[in-house]
Amino acid sequence: MLSRIIDSHCHYDDKAFDGDREQVLTEVLSSVRAVIHAATDEKSSLFGIENSLRWDNFYTAVGFHPEELDRLPPDPEKTLEQLLSRQGKIVAVGEIGLDYHYEGFDREKQLEMFEMQLAAANKHRLPVIVHLRNATEDGMALLEKHKPKGVLHCFSGSAETALQAVKLGLYISFTGALTFKNAKKAVKACAAVPAERLLLETDCPYMSPEPLRGSRCDSRMIVHTAEKMGEIKGFSADQMIELCAENTRQLFNL
């Protein structure tokens, strides 16, 4: 089962892996089929590109996360172009989006950077990995405007929003949070999304699924999320992993 897993969203550059990154990457990449690194800033994008050149089954996105905009390079558009022109298995622009969760966020800056990166993705014919938190309305409006290929990652919105995104051609991705006791809303959304539009992800090191909640997450733990998703959709964990892997391959052209 492990060998069929594609983790569509992970962060192996996170400081949680500082102590044993090489070992974890070696173990994970020899166990699962593939992983896609979601970049958060320029350095994280370079981490992804470098590792996509080192490992056959490591793919990467490049981009600027809405919560990391205080670390933007002087000319983000130019830097993004330079990153996109590098050699490596670059399969998406991400993670990009809007996050109005923490006080003091710069809404205008977030909107500007999201839109710039949506346009860049369309120009390069790449899908986007979208992070939306407490910003559904603004986020969906920009997605409707630019109509990119892509995925709403770590989905926690309503079934209605999920279906609106599906209508736009987008995929919906769930993390281990789907297994949490209080995940009723996510479960409803997952039930509403057609199976051919679902993706599995870890968002590791965060969001470890039950029964491992609270421990450091890695791509192998997707098995538990797949089990839960399978329960919701009427498939076995195996079938769910296979189906989502195929969806991920389609979206990111792996």
Instruction: Confirm or reject binding of residue 38 to Zn ion (CB under 5 A).
Output: yes
Contact 175, 203 (CB under 8 A): yes
Please state the closest distance from residue 209 (CB atom) to Zn ion, in A.
15
Contact 125, 250 (CB under 8 A): no
Q: Would you give the DSSP letter of residue 170? A: -
Contacts with Zn ion, 185-204, as mask; x by CB under 5 A = ------------------x-
Instruction: Confirm or reject binding of residue 61 to Zn ion (CB under 5 A).
Output: no
| Non-local CB neighbours of 163 within 8 Å, separated by 6+ positions | 192, 193
Instruction: Confirm or reject binding of residue 218 to Zn ion (CB under 5 A).
Output: no
**Binding segment for Zn ion among 21-29, 38-46, 54-62, 164-172 (CB under 5 A)?**
38-46
> Phi/psi class of residue 199: alpha, beta or left (left: φ > 0; alpha: ψ in -120 to 50)?
beta
| Non-local CB neighbours of 200 within 8 Å, separated by 6+ positions | 5, 6, 7, 8, 173, 174, 222, 225, 226, 229, 240, 241, 244, 248
Instruction: Confirm or reject binding of residue 226 to Zn ion (CB under 5 A).
Output: no
Nearer to Zn ion by Cβ, of 44 and 235: the residue is: 44
Nearer to Zn ion by Cβ, of 136 and 202: the residue is: 202
Instruction: Confirm or reject binding of residue 42 to Zn ion (CB under 5 A).
Output: no
Please state the closest distance from residue 95 (CB atom) to Zn ion, in A.
5
Residues found near Zn ion in the complex (CB under 5 A) = 38, 203
